[in-house]
Amino acid sequence: MTQLPTSRGGSRQRVLPLVGALALLALGTVALRSPDRASGAPLPRAKDGAPGAIWQLTYLKAHPGASVDSLARVVTANWFAMDAQAVAAGDLAGYHLVRGSAADTTWDLLEIAVFRDSAQHARADSLYRTRYRPAHRPVRVGGRDLAGWGRIVRSEPLRYVAGGP
Protein backbone atom coordinates (compact mmCIF):
# COMPACT_ATOMS: atom_id res chain seq x y z
CA MET A 1 0.00 0.00 0.00
CA THR A 2 1.16 3.52 -0.66
CA GLN A 3 0.95 6.35 1.86
CA LEU A 4 -1.38 9.21 0.99
CA PRO A 5 -0.82 12.70 2.42
CA THR A 6 -3.83 14.10 4.21
CA SER A 7 -5.30 17.58 4.30
CA ARG A 8 -4.71 17.78 8.05
CA GLY A 9 -1.13 16.54 8.33
CA GLY A 10 0.28 13.04 8.54
CA SER A 11 -0.47 10.20 6.17
CA ARG A 12 -2.98 7.42 5.82
CA GLN A 13 -2.95 4.14 3.95
CA ARG A 14 -4.61 4.34 0.55
CA VAL A 15 -7.29 1.83 -0.38
CA LEU A 16 -9.37 1.91 -3.56
CA PRO A 17 -13.03 2.05 -2.42
CA LEU A 18 -14.86 1.88 -5.74
CA VAL A 19 -18.19 1.17 -4.05
CA GLY A 20 -17.76 4.17 -1.71
CA ALA A 21 -16.85 6.47 -4.59
CA LEU A 22 -19.84 5.33 -6.61
CA ALA A 23 -22.13 5.81 -3.60
CA LEU A 24 -20.78 9.33 -3.09
CA LEU A 25 -21.31 10.20 -6.75
CA ALA A 26 -24.85 8.81 -6.61
CA LEU A 27 -25.51 10.77 -3.43
CA GLY A 28 -24.22 13.95 -5.09
CA THR A 29 -26.44 13.38 -8.12
CA VAL A 30 -29.49 12.82 -5.92
CA ALA A 31 -28.68 15.87 -3.77
CA LEU A 32 -28.23 18.12 -6.81
CA ARG A 33 -31.52 16.95 -8.34
CA SER A 34 -33.58 16.94 -5.15
CA PRO A 35 -36.18 19.67 -5.07
CA ASP A 36 -36.08 22.44 -2.49
CA ARG A 37 -38.89 21.56 -0.08
CA ALA A 38 -40.24 25.12 0.12
CA SER A 39 -40.23 26.13 -3.54
CA GLY A 40 -40.08 22.86 -5.45
CA ALA A 41 -37.17 24.33 -7.47
CA PRO A 42 -33.95 22.38 -8.01
CA LEU A 43 -31.14 23.18 -5.59
CA PRO A 44 -28.40 25.44 -6.97
CA ARG A 45 -25.20 23.83 -8.13
CA ALA A 46 -22.72 23.59 -5.26
CA LYS A 47 -19.63 25.81 -5.35
CA ASP A 48 -17.53 22.70 -4.87
CA GLY A 49 -18.91 21.00 -7.98
CA ALA A 50 -16.61 22.69 -10.48
CA PRO A 51 -14.67 20.51 -12.94
CA GLY A 52 -11.12 20.03 -11.66
CA ALA A 53 -12.09 20.26 -7.99
CA ILE A 54 -10.46 17.71 -5.68
CA TRP A 55 -12.65 15.98 -3.10
CA GLN A 56 -10.53 14.58 -0.26
CA LEU A 57 -12.57 11.71 1.17
CA THR A 58 -11.86 10.56 4.72
CA TYR A 59 -13.79 7.53 5.95
CA LEU A 60 -14.23 7.13 9.73
CA LYS A 61 -15.42 4.18 11.80
CA ALA A 62 -16.71 4.37 15.38
CA HIS A 63 -15.15 1.93 17.85
CA PRO A 64 -17.40 -1.03 18.74
CA GLY A 65 -19.99 0.20 21.24
CA ALA A 66 -19.03 3.86 20.67
CA SER A 67 -21.55 6.43 19.53
CA VAL A 68 -21.40 7.43 15.87
CA ASP A 69 -23.15 10.67 16.84
CA SER A 70 -20.35 11.45 19.32
CA LEU A 71 -17.74 10.72 16.66
CA ALA A 72 -19.60 13.12 14.34
CA ARG A 73 -19.61 15.80 17.07
CA VAL A 74 -15.84 15.42 17.52
CA VAL A 75 -15.30 15.81 13.76
CA THR A 76 -17.56 18.87 13.48
CA ALA A 77 -16.13 20.52 16.62
CA ASN A 78 -12.53 20.05 15.54
CA TRP A 79 -12.06 19.44 11.83
CA PHE A 80 -14.92 21.70 10.80
CA ALA A 81 -13.65 24.49 13.03
CA MET A 82 -10.33 24.41 11.14
CA ASP A 83 -12.10 23.91 7.80
CA ALA A 84 -14.26 27.00 8.38
CA GLN A 85 -11.10 29.06 8.88
CA ALA A 86 -9.58 27.55 5.73
CA VAL A 87 -12.71 28.42 3.72
CA ALA A 88 -12.65 32.01 5.05
CA ALA A 89 -8.98 32.30 4.02
CA GLY A 90 -9.65 30.82 0.56
CA ASP A 91 -7.62 27.68 1.25
CA LEU A 92 -10.60 25.30 1.03
CA ALA A 93 -13.73 25.40 -1.13
CA GLY A 94 -16.05 23.46 1.20
CA TYR A 95 -16.51 20.58 3.60
CA HIS A 96 -19.23 18.03 4.32
CA LEU A 97 -19.98 15.14 6.66
CA VAL A 98 -22.06 12.20 5.43
CA ARG A 99 -23.32 9.30 7.52
CA GLY A 100 -22.92 5.80 6.08
CA SER A 101 -25.61 3.22 5.55
CA ALA A 102 -26.14 -0.34 6.72
CA ALA A 103 -25.10 -1.52 3.24
CA ASP A 104 -21.39 -0.85 3.95
CA THR A 105 -20.29 -1.43 7.53
CA THR A 106 -16.61 -0.69 6.90
CA TRP A 107 -17.22 3.00 7.69
CA ASP A 108 -19.74 5.12 9.60
CA LEU A 109 -18.93 8.69 8.55
CA LEU A 110 -17.45 10.23 5.43
CA GLU A 111 -15.83 13.64 5.75
CA ILE A 112 -15.33 15.43 2.44
CA ALA A 113 -12.93 18.35 2.17
CA VAL A 114 -13.32 20.07 -1.20
CA PHE A 115 -10.48 21.92 -2.90
CA ARG A 116 -10.92 24.12 -5.98
CA ASP A 117 -8.06 22.44 -7.84
CA SER A 118 -5.01 20.21 -7.45
CA ALA A 119 -2.76 23.16 -6.55
CA GLN A 120 -4.99 24.10 -3.60
CA HIS A 121 -5.10 20.44 -2.55
CA ALA A 122 -1.29 20.19 -2.73
CA ARG A 123 -0.87 23.18 -0.37
CA ALA A 124 -3.40 21.92 2.18
CA ASP A 125 -1.17 19.54 4.14
CA SER A 126 1.36 22.27 4.86
CA LEU A 127 -1.29 24.90 5.63
CA TYR A 128 -3.16 22.69 8.12
CA ARG A 129 0.10 21.66 9.80
CA THR A 130 1.52 25.20 10.10
CA ARG A 131 -1.54 27.47 10.31
CA TYR A 132 -4.81 25.79 11.25
CA ARG A 133 -3.81 23.01 13.67
CA PRO A 134 -1.56 25.21 15.85
CA ALA A 135 -4.31 27.84 16.13
CA HIS A 136 -7.00 25.29 17.04
CA ARG A 137 -7.83 24.36 20.63
CA PRO A 138 -8.96 20.69 20.52
CA VAL A 139 -12.50 19.96 21.69
CA ARG A 140 -13.37 16.71 23.47
CA VAL A 141 -16.81 15.16 23.45
CA GLY A 142 -17.72 13.20 26.58
CA GLY A 143 -14.08 13.54 27.66
CA ARG A 144 -12.79 11.83 24.50
CA ASP A 145 -11.05 13.00 21.35
CA LEU A 146 -11.42 11.40 17.90
CA ALA A 147 -9.21 8.43 18.86
CA GLY A 148 -11.47 7.79 21.85
CA TRP A 149 -14.61 7.52 19.69
CA GLY A 150 -13.29 5.98 16.47
CA ARG A 151 -10.61 5.87 13.83
CA ILE A 152 -9.82 6.89 10.30
CA VAL A 153 -10.38 3.89 8.04
CA ARG A 154 -8.97 5.36 4.83
CA SER A 155 -8.52 8.58 2.94
CA GLU A 156 -8.23 9.35 -0.76
CA PRO A 157 -8.55 12.23 -3.20
CA LEU A 158 -11.00 12.15 -6.12
CA ARG A 159 -11.14 14.60 -8.99
CA TYR A 160 -14.62 16.00 -9.71
CA VAL A 161 -15.56 15.62 -13.38
CA ALA A 162 -19.16 16.69 -13.95
CA GLY A 163 -22.57 16.98 -12.31
CA GLY A 164 -26.17 18.04 -12.61
CA PRO A 165 -27.83 21.44 -12.91
pTM: 0.71
Instruction: Find out if CATH 3.60.15.10 is the number for domain 3-159.
Output: no
Backbone angles phi, psi at 42, to 5 degrees: -65, 150
> How far is 108 from 100, CA to CA, in rounded Å?
5
List strand residue ranges (DSSP E) for 6-108, in order.
11-13, 54-62, 94-99
Which CA distances in Å does 126 have to 5, 137, 151?
10, 18, 22
**pLDDT at residue 49, as a whole number:** 65
Interval 126-161: pLDDT, tens: 999 999 999 999 999 999 999 999 999 999 999 998
